[in-house]
Structures are given as C-alpha cells and as structure tokens.
Structure 1
Amino acid sequence: MSVWQGREIRRHGRPRPGVAAFVLAAAVMAAVPPSVTLAQDPPAGPLPQYGDLIEGGGEGLLIADELIYDREARTVTASGGVEIFYRGRRLYAERLTYNEATGAVDAHGNVTLVDEAGNAVYATGLSIDGDLRDGIAEGVAARIGPQAKVAGARMKRTEGRLTVIERAVYSPCNVCEENPTPFWQIKARTVTHDLERKVIAYEDPQLEIMGTPVAWLPYFEHPDPSVKRQSGFLLPSFFSSSSLGYGASVPYHLVLAPNRDVTLTPQFLSDEWPVLGVEYRERTQTGQFRLEGTGTIADIEDGLGNTTSSDAFRGALFGDGRFALGDTATWGFDLELTTDDTFLRRYRISSDDRLASRLFAERFGDREFWSASALYFQGLRQTDKPGLTPIVLPFLEYANALDGRVLGGEITVEASALALTRTDGSDTYRLSGTVGWERRFLIDNGLVFTGFGSLRTDLYQVMEGADPLNPATDLATDTTFRVVPTVGAEVSWPLFRPGGRVDQVLEPIVQLVVSPYGTDDPGIPNEDSASFEFDETNLFAKDRFPGIDSVEPGPRINVGVRYTAFAGNIGSAEVTFGQSFRLKDAMVFTAASGLRDQSSDYVGRIALNWQDNFSLVHRFRLNRDDLSYERAEVGIRGGPDWWRSSATYVKLTGDPAVAGLTAREEFNLGTDLQIDNNWAVRGGWRRDLDASRSVEAGAGLFYADECLEVELSVRRRFTRDRDIEPSTSLNLRINLLTLG
C-alpha cells in the first residue's frame, strides 16, 4: 500500500492546503482509469488551469487531500475535498474509491455530479463508471438548468444522457424550513431527463397546488429549461366577456425546422364559433418573415343592429418580413388586412382604426438613399369610404447629399414619383424633383447664421373623378406643371451661462423664408398634406406641410426662443416658444389651423424632469388674440420606483375643413403599483371629456416569483360601434415556469 500526502499548491491565486493534483493522460499506474496518470508530486512549473483540463478532450484532473493505493485490492481511495474534472464533467465528494477490476467509482459524503450542460445531481452516495457518465444513487436531488429541481428516492443514469429518478417530485419553487411545501409541484412514479432530446418526461404525474392534487395524467413531458423552442402545447389563458361569453385559448407550438415554426391558437367561445389563429415564422439565408392569420364564422351587423351578413367568414391577416439585398439594400413587406371594419376590435385583436400594407425595397448609402414601394390602405371607421381609399403603386424616392460643395455649402438632390389610383375617386400621377443648398456660418460673437435655398419642380397628371377631400366635387382631367423656389436664412444666438448648481442655455432664433405666391393650383388634389397641425416641432420648418401636394406660400418670419437648464443629477428644464408672421393671409391653410392670418397662434413646449422620479411635458397652441388654448397636451409621470403613475390630458380644436379632424378632449390615467417583489397592481382609465363619458377602463393584479406567474385582469369598454357593444371582460393567465 502506498500513501501520497498532498501539499499546499495555488490554483487561480486561491490557496488550497493539503492538495495533490493528478494529471489525466496515458496510464502509468494500473489503479486509475486508462486515460489517467497519477503524479506523486505536483509537476514542476504552474499547474494546468481547470478550463484547459476540462476542454482538453482526453485530459482531466483529480484533486484530494489524501490518496491511498492498494495494489493487492487494485483500488485507489481519495479522501478530503475530492474533486474530479473529466471531459466537461465534474464530481465532488468527501471520499472516493476507484476499483480497477470493475471500473466503478464509489463516492460518499455530500456527493455532487455536474454534467457538460451544467445540470447537477446531489446524493449522499453515488456509484458511477470511470467516465463519470453512468451510475446509480440513493436519496438524490437534481438541479436542471438554473432553477428546476427534482428529488427522489433513487436515481439511475444510463447511456450518458438519461437520468431517471424514481418516486420523484419536480418543482422550480423555493422552499424553506418554515414552509417546506412548494406552491406547485409534480409528483411522478419516474422523472426522466433526456439530455439528447432535452426533455423532461413524467410517468403517472400528478400536479399539486399548495400540496393539494389538482390534475393527473398517465404521461407528460416538456422541454428542459435549456430549450428555446420545442413542439408542444403552450400555457392556456381564460377569459369571460359580456359580448363573447366564456373563452379559453390553448396554443400549440410546432417546430418545423431549426429556422421555421408555426403556432396554432384556437380560441373557444361559449356564445360564438371558435376563433382560430395561425402564426408562421421563418428565418432564411437573407432575412426573416412572419405571417399571422385569424378567422372565424360569425354574423356581421350594421350600426342599427341589423344583420348584414349571416355566418360570414370574418378574419384578418398580419405579417412582416425583412430581407437583405447585398450589404446596403433591403426589401420587405408589412401586411395588415381584415375582412370587415369591426373584426379586430370585437375579438380583442387590435384597436387600430386604419390599416396599411406595404411592399418595399430600399438602399442606404453613406450619403445616398433610394426606395421603391407599393402601399394599400384600409379604413375601419364608419365614415371611411373604400372607393376613395387610394392604392399607391409605385412610390419611388431618391435622395443624395453630394460630396462636392458649392459656395461653401452642401448640395442635396431629392426626387420622387408616385401613382395613386382609386376605384371611385380621381387618380393622381406625380413626378417631383428638388435641388437644395445650405451653408452654416459661426460668427465670432457666437451667432450661428444659416443660409439655404431650394428649387422644386412638380408635374401632375390628374384623372377625372371625385375629389378625395370633398367627394361632392369632381376633379377634371388635367396636367399641371409647378415650380417652387425657396430661399431663406436663419440666425440663432446660443447663450451659455454656467453656474455652481445649474447650467443654462438661452437661444433666440429668427428665421426668414421666402416662397412665391400662387403655388397652390386648384387642379392639384391634396393627397399627402391634408392631415396638418401647427406646433413647436414645425415652427422653424421651411415648409410646414408634411407632403408635396400643398406648398406654404409667400414670405414669412418665424421667431422663437429655446431655453434649457441642467442641474446635474437633480433634473432639467426645457422651454420652446414662438410665433410666425407673414405679409398677407395664406388661404392655403384652414381657418382653424392657426396659420392662415398674418400673425399665427403661439406654439410651445415645456418639459420638466426631476431625477428619475418625475417628468412633466406640456405642449400647447394658444390663440393669438385671447391666449385661449387651441391645443393643449399635458403629460405627467412620476412617483417612487415602487409606485409609478401617469396622467395625460389632450384638448384639440376641431377643423371642419379637414375630414375626420373633430374637436377632442380626453383624459388618460395609468398607475403601476409594485406592492413587493412578487405582487403588482396596474390599472388605466380613459375618459372622453367632450362627450362626458368613459371610453375604457381596466385593472389587473399580477404575481410573479421564481416558479409562477399569474395575471388576473378586468377591462371595460364603454363605446359602441356597429356590432361592437359595450362589454366587460375578465382575463386569467397562469404560467407555471419551466414547463414550456
């Protein structure tokens, strides 16, 4: 019998007294596995790092306080802090015996076996083969992934991949001496973890909630926590709705390939036919795409409660895709379609009242951009007329900032082409091109001077049909050519005042823009600039219309000031305020826009931020005569980390000249209360102050811990739209973590 006593060595800078290291290589002594060499003394020089030995294929490492080799019995006994590292597997024990004749390793005392995936088995005793792959143990516990735990009477591991635990209990929930019963657990005759398939399978499983049996199955399996995607049922959700009845959603996820999957989501309703949802996802060599369809069979009603279609198919199709075309170009699509106006809102899919589908290709260079697209729109409001809704095919855009400079300034080139058609209204075909110039000067006293100019040409071909903005009026077939020159200058003077606690910046700005009168031809329909709003974001815009069809005419001066204060980590304040002046009234703007008269309304924005606990944003447009609000928007958000609340107030003046732009005044309230680490309450309320009625309200109770997520929420919708009645819905979602 030979005895080796370990001596102190250092590993990763950490002293381990009484350690003998054994480098695993070709067999030097018959008592160790064929790939292990036993060194009597630590090798000269620095010892191999653990990671090198673990990843070294045929190498390994054994560490112990004492090693005894019995030549007659052909056994090696290691004791005192035994650690074995072998081909990614690790074994820890207080005492270990290796038998050369049987090739078995017997470990005793606080045994821990960790496999290549990081899963661990804990036992008082373990018998395993020399490769640390297959073995048996009594009275075991196992950790699968970072959280899942299994305990059982006996464990058997075979084929290096199957771990079978008998009379087992599975749960990711934490327990303690005061509360030894997990919130939920699965008891089974056997629990098998398959490392190759990455599944956990149960024979004769029984689900218990707080120690009470609630469900039983003859067999059940689910992916282990390391799996991102695997076929199987996803967790169901339940709800009750006063308009749809009781409902349950039971999704099934099907993995077709590593780059493709599909999710089937049947939604069963007590008062109507089921609703089926299908989502398909795929990654390709150049990109990825997603298609999501939903459909059912149901009646369609008008605003008077009359059935317009019986047992009709009602559904929607959504999707998106993005694909590379070389290094700088992409193509893709966005898809939003539905069979009728109210399907999305009635079946709680989306609250959108306008859908847009797009097919496009685009390229971004260092200073160049081009795109080609086709667009299809679908209006879902009761006042929308499908025949007047346009189809855009094609829509071509090009922009380039040239490398060379002219008179010290930058030259930009923009061009676009558009074909817009309707089934009932007029059709429009447009070509447009713009050349722009801009140069900025910094004067010694801090003044910033910017000069700019542009020349735009537009060619329109309008085909006879109803005016989309005024369907009662027909537009005649006509060709129009328009030239729009614009020149201007802007002067700003940023003044900086440092302070001990507050740094301040005050920047007055004056801008002069000159364009000719008479650029708005009555034969050109306003397709892209009808939705317009004067606010602080376009106070200094060279042309405040968002599109090309309408042009802001005549000379105008825009005057404003920006003020910013920074108080270190305490907070900040920002103020923008200004007004626009022109030589004569601009009839191209509506009377309610605030821009038609020689002096515009006042526009501005105030923003206050106090650390991370409070913020206030106030955007406004004030009547130039009496300073009354034409537009007001106030948003407040704040509170401690455990209780965040927000409130938003919006007041808009209606514009009879713009379809759909009606007066609006509403209030929104939201709150998020984190009661403790597990419990939270969230709620929201939206009220129409113009109509003195609530629009919708909802609240939810949320619970989350290491093994469970529960959401219980209630939502009330107060509005009515054709077959969408005011309704109340109650939703319940329970997620037993690690089960899928």
Structure 2
Amino acid sequence: MPSGGADGVGGAFANGSDAEQPLEASGLNARYEIDRELFLQGDVRIRQGGFQVTGSEARYSQERGAVSVQGPLVSRGEGFLLTGEDANYDVETGRLDINTATFLLHGPEMRGNAGSLSRISEEQVVIQGGLLTTCGPRQNDWAIVASDIRLDRAEGFGTAKHVRLEVLDVPVFYWPWASFPIDDRRKSGFLYPQFGSSSAGSGAFIAVPYYFNLAPHYDATLTPQYIHGRGLFNEVEGRYLSSLGETTLQLGYIGNDSAFEEENPGESGERWALDATTRAAFGGGWRGYGDFSVVSDEDYLSDLNRSLEINQATHLQRKGGVTFRSDQQYFDAYLNDYQTISDRIADVDKPYAQLPEIIYAGQTDAGVVEASVESQYTVFYRDNEALTGLDRANGQRFRARPELALPMRALWGFSRPSVSLDYTRYDLDDYTLGDGAFDRTVPVAEWDNGLYFDRQSSLFDVPYNQTLEPRLYYAWADADPDQNDIPDFDTDLQTFRFEQLFRPDRFTGGDRVGDANQLTVALTSRFNDLLTGAERARFSIGQVQYFEDREVTLFGEGAGTRSRSPLAGEVVLNPLDTLEIRSSGLWDPDTGNTEEGRSQLLFHSSDYRYLASVGHTYSRDELEQSDIAAVFPVSDRVSLIGRWVYDSDLDRTVGSLAGLEYNNCCWSVQVVHQNYLTDDRELDSRILFQIQLKGLGGSDGASSSISEAIYGFDERERRRFGTP
C-alpha cells in the first residue's frame, strides 16, 4: 500500500546477492510501497559499496532490483566520474546505464562524452557514439571518435570500432578498429601511425606499428611502412628479458628498393640490416655483453634506418665478451670485429679485429707499498692480402705493466712516487723485416705531488670555499727511439689537452711507448658554494718542461725538440644552476699563437623551456667553427627551435636545423628542417616530423635529431612526457 512522503527520509536495503554490500538511498522526500517500490525526490543520493550516484529523482524497484535515476546526475567511483541526463542501475550486478553521458577517468587522465554509457562493472565501461581525449575541459585539440569504445581498467586497455582521429575537430585519420592503452601495462595491438618526410633518401613515409605482447618477459614490434619512391619496408624489434639480463634484436628489410636500383645500376634492390645487443649479470661481479651490427650496403643507414639503434658510420662494431670487476681486480675477455661500410676507405686504413683480446688489471697493498699490474693479450687480424710491408702483418701481442708505488696522502696534499716496467711481446705472421717474434721493455718512473690550500669567504652574502691546488708531476721513460719496425695495430698520437699533462705516454694503444724526461707544473683553483656544495668555478693551467728531445714516432709523428709545451688551460663557470660556461685551450708562449681553443656557453631555464648554447672550436691551420643553438618559446604554446654551424675556413654553413614546436597540455607537434654536410662536402636536407598525443604516444622522427643537435633537449623531453 502507498505511504506518505516525508522530508529528510533515508533507508538502507540489503542486496540479496551480497548482504555485505547494502544499497543505501536518501532524498529530501520519499514515498515507499512495502515490498514494491521506493520513490525519492530532491538531492537524491544512492550508494552501494564504492559506487555512488546523485540525482533529482530516483525509483527503486525492490522486485526487479533496479534503480532509475533522473538527472542531472553525477556518479562517482574509484578512479572515475560520470554525469548524464538519466540512468538505470542494477543492484544485483552493479551495472549502470547512462544516457547523454560525460565521463572522466582519473588514472589515465582521460575524459569524453557519449550518446550512452554503460558501466558494466567497477572495471569495465562501454561507450556508444563516444569521444575520448586527454585534453583539458573545452579543449578538444585532439580526440578519438568512435561508434563503440570499450575501456577495461582491469586489463589496462581500450578498444574502439570505426575510429577516427580528430585534430581541432577535423578528421585526419580513420581505423576500422583500434586498441590503445589506458595505463602503463602492455597489450598486443596496433600502435599509432608514424609519418614523416626526408629529401635525403627516405622520402615521405607512413608506418603502422603492431606490438606483440607475447609474454611478460619477451615482446616484439613489427613496423610495416610504405616509403614513397622505394616501396614496402619492414622493421621488427624483439626484446627478451631473462633473470640474467636483456637482449634486443632489430631487423630491417626491403625486398625491392626501386629508388636504390635507379641510383645504383646493376645493384639489387634487396636491402637489409640487423642490430643485436645483449647484457647479462651473472653475479659475483661477472657480467656478459654483446653488440652486433651489419647492413647490406653503405647507404642503408642514410636511406632507410629509423628504428635500428645504429647511426651513420664508416665502421659497424661486432663485440662480445665477459667482464669481472671487484674492488681490486678487473678482467675483460672479448671478440671484436668491424664491418667497414664505406667503399672510400682504403684497406690500409681499415681497423684490425681483436680475436680475442684479454685484459687483466689487479692491485694489492703490501704494507705502505701499493703493487699493481695491467696486462693485455690480443690476436690482431685483418685481410691484408693486397698490402705490403708492415701493413701486411697480423699476429699476437702481449703487454704487461707491473708497478710499485708508495702513496702518501694527508688532508693538506699527496705524494705518489712509482716505478713500472712496460713489457711487450710480439709473435707476428707475414712480417717482412725479420723474425716475427720479438719483445720490447721500457722502464718508467713517475712522481706525482700535490698540495691543498683553502680559505673561506663570501660573495654577495653567499659563503664559499676557495682552494688553491698546486701540482708537480715528473715522468721518465727510457724507450728505444726506433720503434717503427713494429706494425700499427691500434695506436695513435694523443691529442694534447690539459689532462694529458699528467700522463707519461703521448701514444694511445700498445704499439708505441714514448720516451719521456719531463716535469709538469700545474695550478687549479676551485670556488665551492658552502650553502649548496656546488662547484661554482674552476680554473686550471699547466705546462710541461721537457729535459730531452722526444724521438719515438709513429711513422714520423710524435717527435719533438722544443723545451716546453704550450700552456694548457681550462675554465669552468657555474654561476647559476642553469648556466654553465666552459673554455679550454692551448697557447704557445714561444710564438704567441693560440694552438687550440674550445669554448661553450650552455643555458637552460629551470623548467627547460628555454635552451641556448653558443660554441666555438679552433685548431690552428686545421679547423675553426662556430655554432649557435636555441629553443625559444614565443608564446605559452609555440617555441622556435634552431641551430647553425659555420665553418670559417670553408667560409660556409656546414649544418643547420630550424623548426617550430607547438605544445599544450594534451599534444605537441615538432616540424624541423635540417641541413647537414655529406661526405662529398655537399649540403643535403631533410624535413622531420614528430607528433605527441598525451597518453597515446605519437610519431617518431624529429626528437632524436634535435636532441643530438641541441644541449638539454633530451632532458626537456623527459620532463614534458615523463620518458626514462
């Protein structure tokens, strides 16, 4: 029988299928028919467990276990907010159907609207005639519009039928079906299309990647793409994660590259590339590693490569081995080879393979004496059939350098005298200057000394600590001047820098040991902020005094007769956390000439919206280049991107990058035009795109090139998109 209404009436009705989750309902006015129906009016509130809905009117049918609610209504639950005109709620199943709905998902920060929306369960939502975006309210810069959208929060993904991507309400792409993530979990399905253009080789392209979530510990991504003028090109990446480490395999293949065939008559249009990396941790300080790269032809990387983690190069490395590291020991054994992909490199200039190379270093303390040894065994191989003389030789090299030192340290300074023996043994094949088995022994003595003075003061009310660190370093090596009967497997002359002042040998590698009788005098001063601990400034200068001529050469390079080196200096200034100024160079006091110089100013705002760098590189009679780079916001959403590199010797631009970035809370686009100098000293150009839709990923193309060109841009991308 009917009952009268009453203000402020509320009731609780147990759900027959789950007595522990009662249905609670309240309103300003209520009318209840016993065992049949409850009618509520005015500020209606209905709750069951974590689900709740509010509206203007509600009818609860106890017989059907259903509630109909008139809006405007609002429904809240864990991680979501729904609004609509009217709704039906099933008490038994928890299903909620809303007409003319809007919704907000807090976890993935997605919102949208729908002709109808069904909350089937706490984790599943079905949207009919819906729109989905991660943009802010009243800002549909981009949106996914579909006839049917299903969101599964339990699985972390959504699916949609008859999907179109709209940018500023304009349709730009259509998919008959799509699957997309709504959180960080992985799921098989199509990723978002990639597109771009380049006037250097690869042309306009469109790619549709498909991700295979095969198992928790391995997956794969297949990226078929069509390149204008070339045809169908496929790239695939596979990743495998084990208890030891991770392995990545990347492949690229095109069966019939029509543009390549036109440019290279007689060559096959079948082109391919492979890149594999693996890292493993075995425990106890042991690790394994492997890197292998190979391409079908010299132009593959410039024409086709977008996803393989190998860059334009003349040599591709294949290296694999195991290492061990502890506090006092180091061991590394590996095989190392190269693919020389440039036809312009002569056989004599190709690098040797190490098959294998074994390195061991150890150190121990014997009372006040420190004993150590560095050793290396290498088998060098190169196809030298077409070469003559020393260039034809292959073979084995063993090198060991035992050392005894007497380190003395105190708060005010240090002193470290040491003696060592640099021993090298060769066993060579195809050696034309006599017996290929011979050795070389060079005694070496070093004495490194430093003092430390400091004082505290303040500047602009900021306390700081200033240090004064004089350093004396003496080196002596009694090396045979005539070592040019030894092949050059891996040796080069070191570029003279400030850090080179404190090394006894002017050669890298193991085929030359330099003679030395020299004293380095250097001075460093640091200014440390006592409030933050940051080093705000560092000034260093030093010079080598030679007591004897240097006679050991690398086929004519490396000798010297002057009595002192150029002055080598470094200056590093960090007056602000966002500003760094670096300068280093060599100045010859005998001639008054600057031999080398490198200077760079780096600036970024605290949020990395502003980036700027100015640099200059100079090497007398060889190179002089200047470069300027910047990312400059001209509004809250638009930024200019640019870099310019000018070569004074060539009197021309040798590289440039100019572009535009639009960025707001839910999407960004970068378009850049890049010029770069090719091997034949011609400027080539390409146009690169990148689009990022917040929460949905985007197209590749521009970001990595900008990061290589502009200091701090990669950090800027991490801060904006949360990438690792």
Output the TM-score relative to the length of structure 2. Answer: 0.81
**CA distance in structure 1 between the aligned counterparts of 2:467 and 2:149, rounded to whole angstroms:** 68
Q: Which of the numbers 414, 420, 424 marks the counterpart of 1:454?
A: 420
Match of 2:235 in 1: 277
* Aligned 8 A contact 1:520 1:551 in 2: no
Match of 1:611 in 2: 576
What pairs with 1:248-397 in structure 2 (closer than 5 Å)? 248-296=206-254, 297=256, 307=264, 309-347=266-304, 350-380=311-341, 383-386=344-347, 388-397=350-359
Q: 5+ unaligned residues in a row in structure 2: which ranges? A: 385-391, 698-724
- Distance change in 2, residues 1:361/1:637 (3 Å): same
**CA distance in structure 2 between the aligned counterparts of 1:158 and 1:369, rounded to whole angstroms:** 60
Shift of 1:250: 3.7
* Aligned 8 A contact 2:15 2:92 in 1: no
Shift of 1:718: 4.2
Match of 2:527 in 1: 565
**CA distance in structure 2 between the aligned counterparts of 1:108 and 1:189, rounded to whole angstroms:** 25
Match of 2:465 in 1: 503
Q: Secondary structure at the match of 1:537?
A: helix
Match of 2:711 in 1: none
Shift of 1:361: 0.8
**CA distance in structure 2 between the aligned counterparts of 1:250 and 1:127, rounded to whole angstroms:** 40
**CA distance in structure 2 between the aligned counterparts of 1:648 and 1:698, rounded to whole angstroms:** 15
What pairs with 1:154-303 in structure 2 (closer than 5 Å)? 154-158=116-120, 162-176=124-138, 182-195=140-153, 198-216=156-174, 218-241=176-199, 244-296=202-254, 297=256
**CA distance in structure 2 between the aligned counterparts of 1:573 and 1:593, rounded to whole angstroms:** 34
The superposition leaves residues 307-359 of structure 1 with CA deviations (integer Å, 9 ceiling, x where unpaired) of 47423544332221112223421212112322333332344653333322211
- Distance change in 2, residues 1:412/1:167 (3 Å): same
* Aligned 8 A contact 1:371 1:396 in 2: yes
**CA distance in structure 2 between the aligned counterparts of 1:195 and 1:675, rounded to whole angstroms:** 40
* Aligned 8 A contact 1:264 1:276 in 2: yes
Shift of 1:611: 0.2
* Aligned 8 A contact 1:31 1:69 in 2: no
Query: In the alignment, does 2:642 pair up with 1:683?
Result: yes
**CA distance in structure 2 between the aligned counterparts of 1:63 and 1:221, rounded to whole angstroms:** 38
**CA distance in structure 1 between the aligned counterparts of 2:89 and 2:584, rounded to whole angstroms:** 72
**CA distance in structure 1 between the aligned counterparts of 2:452 and 2:121, rounded to whole angstroms:** 75
Shift of 1:553: 1.9
The superposition leaves residues 355-381 of structure 1 with CA deviations (integer Å, 9 ceiling, x where unpaired) of 222111112223222111111123455
Q: Which of the numbers 584, 591, 594 marks the counterpart of 1:629?
A: 594
Identity of aligned residues (%): 19
Shift of 1:33: 4.8
Match of 1:647 in 2: 614
- Distance change in 2, residues 1:639/1:537 (3 Å): same
Shift of 1:494: 1.3
**CA distance in structure 2 between the aligned counterparts of 1:242 and 1:481, rounded to whole angstroms:** 51
Q: Which of the numbers 127, 146, 150 marks the counterpart of 2:108?
A: 146
Query: In the alignment, does 2:566 pair up with 1:601?
Result: yes
Shift of 1:245: 4.2
What pairs with 1:389-468 in structure 2 (closer than 5 Å)? 389-402=351-364, 405-424=365-384, 425-442=392-409, 446-464=412-430
Match of 1:492 in 2: 450
- Distance change in 2, residues 1:361/1:519 (3 Å): farther
* Aligned 8 A contact 1:621 1:630 in 2: yes
Counterpart residue identity of residue 688, structure 1: D
**CA distance in structure 2 between the aligned counterparts of 1:194 and 1:152, rounded to whole angstroms:** 17
Counterpart residue identity of residue 671, structure 1: A
The superposition leaves residues 214-270 of structure 1 with CA deviations (integer Å, 9 ceiling, x where unpaired) of 455554443334544432143221214165544334433333333333333344333
Mean Cα deviation higher: 602-611 or 340-349: 340-349
Counterpart residue identity of residue 316, structure 1: A
- Distance change in 2, residues 1:399/1:76 (3 Å): farther
Match of 1:727 in 2: 684
Counterpart residue identity of residue 647, structure 1: V
* Aligned 8 A contact 1:507 1:562 in 2: yes
* Aligned 8 A contact 2:515 2:551 in 1: no
- Distance change in 2, residues 1:714/1:315 (3 Å): same
* Aligned 8 A contact 2:200 2:302 in 1: no
Query: In the alignment, does 2:496 pair up with 1:530?
Result: no
**CA distance in structure 2 between the aligned counterparts of 1:101 and 1:235, rounded to whole angstroms:** 51
Match of 2:540 in 1: 576
- Distance change in 2, residues 1:695/1:347 (3 Å): farther
- Distance change in 2, residues 1:345/1:667 (3 Å): farther
The superposition leaves residues 426-476 of structure 1 with CA deviations (integer Å, 9 ceiling, x where unpaired) of 1131122232233332468x34222223233322112225xxxxxxxx655
- Distance change in 2, residues 1:352/1:242 (3 Å): closer
**CA distance in structure 2 between the aligned counterparts of 1:314 and 1:739, rounded to whole angstroms:** 32
The superposition leaves residues 169-189 of structure 1 with CA deviations (integer Å, 9 ceiling, x where unpaired) of 22322233xxxx622334433
Match of 1:56 in 2: none
- Distance change in 2, residues 1:298/1:183 (3 Å): closer
Shift of 1:608: 1.6
- Distance change in 2, residues 1:203/1:464 (3 Å): closer
* Aligned 8 A contact 2:626 2:647 in 1: yes
Counterpart residue identity of residue 530, structure 1: D
Query: In the alignment, does 2:653 pair up with 1:694?
Result: yes
**CA distance in structure 1 between the aligned counterparts of 2:266 and 2:528, rounded to whole angstroms:** 62
Aligned length: 670
* Aligned 8 A contact 1:33 1:100 in 2: no
Match of 1:585 in 2: 549
Counterpart residue identity of residue 335, structure 1: F
**CA distance in structure 2 between the aligned counterparts of 1:4 and 1:376, rounded to whole angstroms:** 89
**CA distance in structure 2 between the aligned counterparts of 1:605 and 1:553, rounded to whole angstroms:** 27
Match of 1:660 in 2: none
**CA distance in structure 1 between the aligned counterparts of 2:48 and 2:250, rounded to whole angstroms:** 49
Counterpart residue identity of residue 321, structure 1: T
Match of 1:709 in 2: 668
**CA distance in structure 1 between the aligned counterparts of 2:59 and 2:420, rounded to whole angstroms:** 88
The superposition leaves residues 636-679 of structure 1 with CA deviations (integer Å, 9 ceiling, x where unpaired) of 2236554322122222357xxxxxxxx33322221111234432
Query: In the alignment, does 2:646 pair up with 1:670?
Result: no
* Aligned 8 A contact 1:478 1:523 in 2: no
- Distance change in 2, residues 1:218/1:496 (3 Å): closer
Counterpart residue identity of residue 669, structure 1: I
- Distance change in 2, residues 1:593/1:401 (3 Å): same
Mean Cα deviation higher: 705-714 or 124-133: 124-133
